[in-house]
Amino acid sequence: MEKEKLLNVKNLTISFHTYIGEVEAIRKVNFYLKKSEVLAIVGESGCGKSVSTQAILGLTPIPPGEIRSGEIIFKNRDLLKLDEKELSKIRGSQISMIFQDPMTSLNPTMTIGNQIREVLHQHTNISRRGSRERAIDLMTLVGIPEPKVRIDQYPHELSGGMRQRVMIAIAMANRPDILIADEPTTSLDVTIQSQIFRLLKELKSKFGTSIILITHDFGVVAGIADRIVVMYAGRVIEEAEVDQIYYQPMHPYTAGLLKAVPSLADKEEQKLRTINGTPPFLLNVPIGCPFADRCDYTMQICKEKQPEYLHLENKRLVLCWLYHKQAAQQLQQFNKREGRAS
């Protein structure tokens, strides 16, 4: 089991020191990534999904950030212990990243071609002519039409979807083992979004790249993810295979979030099920479960003590007191409302 984990994030805790105090952005986060799989990390803004993945590439701003504890194991090395020089050898070659907004992550004063070639020269001894050819190949790979013309254009001459393809070309330039995509389609239109997801799927099957996909939207990852990690208020609250999450969510937050989005496939609409209230502010982390205030199944213990991880059968993991053996009655209610036999 340990062996097949390409990347393993263990007990990661990161705080940010702000003027008003210490904000515990993520606490004891655990997740792993296997070879050639797509892991989706789902959660709302401020849940810590971006903070967790930025740490992998050493992109956490320190200060104000501080890594309190944890390990990020990649190829038998702890990425948190590497210095900047060693990290920069991994960044862009073995692990690379694409961001939400392709306009701000590309350099507006450099041609597309030079931006792709920069990352090639950084990590290999390729010749100048060779890198130009390779850049054209990469642009063809990610579906940019007329790459020979486009290579000398600047980012502002390209549409949002094309810019995101350029970002993917840069990220894939050195055939990374891991591609981290942080909300890659959030600023794009739905027709372009589906093109980008199709491209990511193609790249995965062609090169066996493992992908971490960060998103706030359960709607978009059903077709691409193999496994899903759900985060809430700085903690991983549930982790399971994609079908298990969608058809049998175990955490009340996951269940609520899934029902909060209307689907085009819904025949008749009922009132949208909502989750009351808002996520807690992480300046004062609640003593108990961070979801207790918004949960329909809150028990006394939820307000007093942090739940512990429960590993359930089928390799599932959930952070919720409902699955404690003393909470059977409350769990029955939850299962009943979810239309499920317990």
Partner 1 sequence: MKEKIVEVKNLKKYFYLSGKRILKAVNNINIEIYKSETFGLVGESGCGKSTLGRTIKGIYKPTNGQVIFDGKDISRMDKKDMRSFMLHMQMIFQDPYSSLNPRMMVKELVSEGLEIHKIGTKKTQEQKVIEMLELVGLTPEYITRYPHEFSGGQRQRLAIARALAVGPKFIICDEPISALDVSIQGQIVNLLKELQNKFGLTYLFIAHDLSMIKYISNRVGVMYMGKLVELAEKKELFENPAHPYTQALLSSIPIPDPRRERKRKEIPIEGEIPSPMETIAGCAFKTRCRFKKPICDKMEDKLINIGSDHFVMCTKYC
Residues between 195 and 254 with contacts to partner 1, criterion CB under 8 A:
195, 197, 216-223, 242-243, 246-247
- Name the residue nearer to partner 1 (CB basis): 1 or 272: 272
Q: Find the shortest distance in angstroms from Cβ 124 to partner 1.
A: 32
Q: Find the shortest distance in angstroms from Cβ 118 to partner 1.
A: 26
114, 170 contact by CB (below 8 A): no
Spatial distance between the Cα atoms of 273 and 327, rounded to a whole number of angstroms: 24
- Name the residue nearer to partner 1 (CB basis): 189 or 296: 189
Among 227, 255, 243, smallest CA distance to 340 is for 255
Size of the site for partner 1 (CB under 8 A): 43
- Binder to partner 1 among 83, 272, 300, 329 (CB under 8 A)? 272
Q: Identify the helix (H) or strand (E) that includes residue 118.
A: helix 112-123
- Name the residue nearer to partner 1 (CB basis): 228 or 331: 228
- Site stretch for partner 1 (CB under 8 A), options 16-24, 69-77, 174-182, 266-274: 266-274
Spatial distance between the Cα atoms of 207 and 2, rounded to a whole number of angstroms: 23
CA dihedral 314, 31, 1, 79 (to 10 degrees): 180
Q: Which residues pair with 13 in a beta bridge?
A: 69
Q: Find the shortest distance in angstroms from Cβ 150 to partner 1.
A: 13
- Binder to partner 1 among 109, 125, 205, 276 (CB under 8 A)? 276
Among 18, 11, 29, 27, smallest CA distance to 63 is for 18
Q: Find the shortest distance in angstroms from Cβ 247 to partner 1.
A: 8
Taking the alpha carbons of 109, 115, 117, 122 in that order, is the dihedral positive or negative? positive
- Binder to partner 1 among 264, 308, 325, 329 (CB under 8 A)? 264
Burial of 125 (0-12, 13-18, 19+ CB in 10 A): exposed
Which residues form the interface with partner 1 (CB under 8 A)? 44-45, 159, 161-162, 189-195, 197, 216-223, 242-243, 246-247, 256-258, 260-266, 269, 271-276, 278
